């Protein structure tokens, strides 16, 4: 399979499979040739915009904003800064992937980089998903139980949660660091970066780790938290109509739907094809056309999932208006005579969803 010769973001292939066309299927050479030509440029584009967007996010979160008081991040900003940092580290590995595809999966960077690049990308898969769960849980706690602990205690809890998430991502990527290696494929005359499983049982463990722990369980938590958030917002909207005669919170509701839908659209296809690949590896599916369909589908789904690292700065910050509000505050500070101000409704909405 194509993706198996590359990075750990794909489910593992059998050790003898090291390239997209190392199967018994030879029916789609034109499709693979198209992927070899098109995907490297696409990956570099993702890398460029991912670097630009996540560096911008981190600069606004981490650079001191106030000269006359101690700079402290809110709980939401702590999570978002960690998400941006994870996305930034991830996109730094994409040029290696692009070069590998351009070389038709002939890995030119040696065994150590094979392990490190794949391990970092694997860790990012788990860290980013777990951070999305943590953000959803924080919003759930803030909106559904607004009277719970606030301030410095919640900031300490957020930092501890992020630390545990990074540690968990690192631990879950250990098999990649240990099992990835560069092996010669004589039939293709290449040296491919592949996973070498010591036993067939690893395929089942891989499916549990990748599909269940890395997607279905986090997805269940995200749906749970956001369902209750939306229910709480609907209740607030009805109360607002009774008191003030107008609905509120529609922008917040739209942001939540954007978060969940983006997550599903970017990651669900990848995990679908990853599960199909598991069925192929354990020989539940042996038809040649299904193998070729799974190989091609995993390649396309992989890069579709990568787009999430570019979308995160837009969705979590720009759509949420957090960065816009921060830029506006800087502008007002530099232009004290400005007659323009943030509308009370927008400021109230911003504080409701992001501030703690």
pLDDT at 327: 55
- Which of 146-150, 203-207, 232-236, 344-348 has the weakest average pLDDT? 344-348
Q: Whats the size of the chain, residue-wise? A: 356
The string of pLDDT tens digits covering residues 252-291 is 556 667 777 887 888 889 888 888 888 888 878 777 777 8
Query: CA 201: distance to chain centroid?
Result: 28
What integer best gives the mean pLDDT of the chain? Answer: 75
The string of pLDDT tens digits covering residues 154-179 is 888 999 999 999 999 999 999 888 88
Alpha carbon distances (Å) from 156 to 131, 220, 354: 16, 26, 17
**Alpha carbons 325 and 328: distance in angstroms, whole number:** 5
- Predicted confidence (pLDDT) at residue 127 exceeds the cutoff of 80: yes
Burial of 314 (0-12, 13-18, 19+ CB in 10 A): middle
- Predicted confidence (pLDDT) at residue 246 exceeds the cutoff of 80: no
Q: How confident is the model at residue 113 (pLDDT cuts 50, 70, 90)?
A: very high
Where are the domains positioned within the chain? 3-353
236-245: average pLDDT = 61
Q: 343: which residues sit within 8 A by CB, 6+ positions away? A: none
The string of pLDDT tens digits covering residues 27-82 is 567 778 888 888 889 889 999 999 998 998 888 877 765 443 456 788 888 988 99
- HSE-CB of 327 using CA atoms within 13 angstroms: 9
Burial of 105 (0-12, 13-18, 19+ CB in 10 A): buried
- Predicted confidence (pLDDT) at residue 354 exceeds the cutoff of 50: no
The CATH topology of domain 3-353 is Rhopdopsin 7-helix transmembrane proteins (1.20.1070)
The string of pLDDT tens digits covering residues 293-311 is 888 888 888 888 888 888 8
Q: What Rg do the C-alpha atoms of the chain give, in angstroms?
A: 23
Q: 99: which residues sit within 8 A by CB, 6+ positions away? A: 40, 108, 109
Q: 51: which residues sit within 8 A by CB, 6+ positions away? A: 88, 91, 92
pLDDT at 22: 40
Residue pair 233/304 in contact (Cβ under 8 Å)? The answer is no
121-148: average pLDDT = 86
pTM: 0.79
- Which of 12-16, 73-77, 256-260, 332-336 has the weakest average pLDDT? 12-16
């Amino acid at each position: 399979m194509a993706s198996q010769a590359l990075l750990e973001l794909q489910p593992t292939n059998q050790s003898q499979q090291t390239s997209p066309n190392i199967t018994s299927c030879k029916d789609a050479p034109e499709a693979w040739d198209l992927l070899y030509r098109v995907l490297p440029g696409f990956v570099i584009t993702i890398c460029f915009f991912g670097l630009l967007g996540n560096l911008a996010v981190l600069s606004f979160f981490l650079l001191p904003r106030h000269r006359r008081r101690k700079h402290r991040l809110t709980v939401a900003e702590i999570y978002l800064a960690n998400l941006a940092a994870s996305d930034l580290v991830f996109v730094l590995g994409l040029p290696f992937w692009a070069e590998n595809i351009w070389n038709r999966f002939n890995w030119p960077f040696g065994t150590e980089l094979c392990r490190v690049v794949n391990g970092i990308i694997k860790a990012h898969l788990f860290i980013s998903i777990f951070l999305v769960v943590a953000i959803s849980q924080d919003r759930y706690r803030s909106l559904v139980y607004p009277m719970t602990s606030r301030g410095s205690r919640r900031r300490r809890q957020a930092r501890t949660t992020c630390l545990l998430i990074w540690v968990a991502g690192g631990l879950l990527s250990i098999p990649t660091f240990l099992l990835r290696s560069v092996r010669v494929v004589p039939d293709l005359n290449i040296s491919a970066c592949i996973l070498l499983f010591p036993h067939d049982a690893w395929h089942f463990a891989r499916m549990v780790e990748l599909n269940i722990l890395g997607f279905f369980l986090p997805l269940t938590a995200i749906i749970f938290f956001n369902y209750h958030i939306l229910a709480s917002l609907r209740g607030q909207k009805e109360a607002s109509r009774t008191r003030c005669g107008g609905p509120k919170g529609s922008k917040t509701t739209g942001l939540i739907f954007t978060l969940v839908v983006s997550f599903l659209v970017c990651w669900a296809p990848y995990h679908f094809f990853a599960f199909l690949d598991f069925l192929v590896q354990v020989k539940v599916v042996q038809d040649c056309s299904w193998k070729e369909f799974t190989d091609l589908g995993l390649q396309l789904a992989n890069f579709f999932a990568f787009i999430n690292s570019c979308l995160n700065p837009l969705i979590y910050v720009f759509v949420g208006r957090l960065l816009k509000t921060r830029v506006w505050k800087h502008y007002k500070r530099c232009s004290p005579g400005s007659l323009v101000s943030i509308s009370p409704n927008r400021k109230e909405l911003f504080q409701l969803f992001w501030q703690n």
